[in-house]
Chains A and B, each alone.
Chain A
Amino acid sequence: MLQDSERITRPPIENLDEEFRKEALPHMDSLYNFALQLTQDSDDAADLLQETYIKAYRFWDKFEKGTNCKAWLFRIMKNSFINFYRKNIKSPEKLDYDEIEEIYETIKSNEQNPHNLDREIFDNVLDDEVMEAIKSLPEEFRTVLLMCDIEGMSYEEIADFMDIPIGTVRSRIHRARKLLAVKLYDYAKSRGYNVDEADKE
């Protein structure tokens, strides 16, 4: 039971370091999303987020003021994930990239005009299908793609964050998008969009 002497005399949030409150807390939504992408589970994501913030708070004096705080937090999260969570996650099925390449080439030879793809297929794809397609990407492709397209990080920042060469960032993004293109095309077709019709227009 709480004793009188242990009453907290200030509201909790005011006990936090002010710089930390201003710099680190606003990124919670982005980090939560990243945690969801990494873990694919809301309970694990919550744990991972909490752990990331506790570590960040503990090592706050190690953060170089004026540098990118979000990138710093992302790095802490990625490392925590690798250390504690990855072992619990089933590794996604190995992907046959050559096969994807083949399917892509078939689509390409069927579609001729890429403007049709934009108007008729991709604009009709559902949000859920987009999420599903992203989810199906191998984790290392997904992370890099979302850093780029959702978090707006530069290739250099991503390379630094992921500890991979910039050329690898480039090729992962390129492949991730090809994979998505094939998936989304497939969804559009299975939802009844008639590809041949679009060709005739």
Chain B
Amino acid sequence: MDCKEFQQYISPLVDNQIDENKRIEAEKHLQQCPSCFFDFKVESIVKKIVSFKFVKTACPDVLKKQIVFSLVSQEGFFERLLSYLKIIFFSKYLRLSFAIGLILLLSIIISNPFKKDKEKYYKEFASVVYQNCRELKNHNFPEKTIFTTNHDVVKKFISSNGILTPKMPNTDWSIIAAGIESFDKFHAAHLLFQCEEDTVYLMEFDINKAKYSGYLNFVNEIYSDLKSKKYLELNFYDYIIILRIEENILMAYAINAHNRHPHEELISSLE
């Protein structure tokens, strides 16, 4: 093997992607040729540096959740389409009139799947709040979490982590834990409260930063909806989700639907 040929095999040699015969030839050349040895060594060093010093950025949890939810709503869409199709093909009235079926199908396609409407934003957001709530209740806290019963400490912690003016519920609940999740310039606080026997989850973030999150469309919707109301209530699975905006902070509470007491307490504090 001469220098010219060897140059082609430097990378395969460094990466161990060379067949046995060529490797023996290449290594023989390496021992005889200081110039090629230098090149080989430099490539090995660069590979070592890249492998050791390249910092992988973890995919933010918020984004992971958002993607899972978007996939689930995709599935919802297909299931829905399928069930509409079933209605069309199994209803004897519609089967009789293919034209009506076609029109119905078209109207579904036009109105439903491709329009990301208000309801969908609400549902997506509710599922995020719900999932977060479950995770905190299962003791999966964000990396940055403090465990304290002191409201002032919590406020300071949140405001020093990207949400400058944190809001607290105006109830007698005591705080259990507060965590911060950051995604680029977007920060969300996750709080867990104790109300007698029950726990209440609260997520809050600065709506002015919503453009850095996946929630911008949702925030725009809710912002206009909350102009005329003090709060909004959604049912999601076995939870009640209560949404409210105080100044520039969006607060999303999740309360188990069976826990009447904290629910009543929260509502009366908001009225």
Q: Is the CB of A54 within 8 A of B10?
A: no
Q: Is the CB of B122 within 8 A of A1?
A: yes
Chain A residue nearest to B213 in the complex (CB): A46
Specify which of B11, B38, B64, B123 is in contact with A177 (CB 8 Å cutoff): B11
Overall SS of chain B's interface: helix
Specify which of B35, B49, B57 is in contact with A125 (CB 8 Å cutoff): B49
Q: Is the CB of A16 within 8 A of B71?
A: yes
| Complex CA–CA separation, A1 to B47 (angstroms) | 55
Q: Is the CB of B236 within 8 A of A1?
A: no
Total number of residue pairs linking A and B with CB closer than 8 Å:
158
Q: Is the CB of A130 within 8 A of B45?
A: no
Whether A198 is near chain B, meaning CB under 8 Å from some CB there, is: no
Whether B63 is near chain A, meaning CB under 8 Å from some CB there, is: yes
Whether A89 is near chain B, meaning CB under 8 Å from some CB there, is: no
Q: Is the CB of B58 within 8 A of A29?
A: yes
Chain A residue nearest to B35 in the complex (CB): A108
**Minimum distance in angstroms from B118 CB to a CB of chain A:** 9
Number of interface residues of A (CB under 8 A): 59
Whether A58 is near chain B, meaning CB under 8 Å from some CB there, is: yes
Per-position 1/0 for B56-84, Cβ under 8 A of A:
11110001101111111011100000000
Whether A19 is near chain B, meaning CB under 8 Å from some CB there, is: no
Pick the interface stretch among A65-73, A79-87, A91-99, A147-155: A147-155
Which residues of B approach A to under 8 Å, CB–CB? Answer: 7-8, 10-12, 14-15, 17, 35, 37-39, 41-43, 45-51, 53-59, 63-64, 66-72, 74-76, 119, 122-123, 126-127, 130-131, 134, 184, 212, 214, 232, 234-237
Chain A to chain B contacts (Cβ below 8 Å), 11 pairs: A1-B122, A8-B123, A16-B68, A53-B71, A130-B50, A131-B54, A150-B54, A155-B12, A177-B14, A177-B42, A180-B50
Query: Beyond the given A1-B234, A33-B57, A149-B51, could you list 11 further A-B residue pairs with CB under 8 A, ordered by the A residue number?
Result: A1-B122, A2-B126, A2-B234, A15-B75, A16-B72, A32-B59, A57-B71, A134-B50, A149-B50, A173-B11, A181-B42
Which residues of A approach B to under 8 Å, CB–CB? Answer: 1-2, 4, 6-13, 15-17, 25, 28-33, 36, 42-43, 46, 49-50, 53-54, 57-58, 108, 111, 114-115, 117-118, 122, 125, 127, 130-131, 134, 145-146, 148-150, 154-155, 170-171, 173-174, 177-178, 180-181, 184
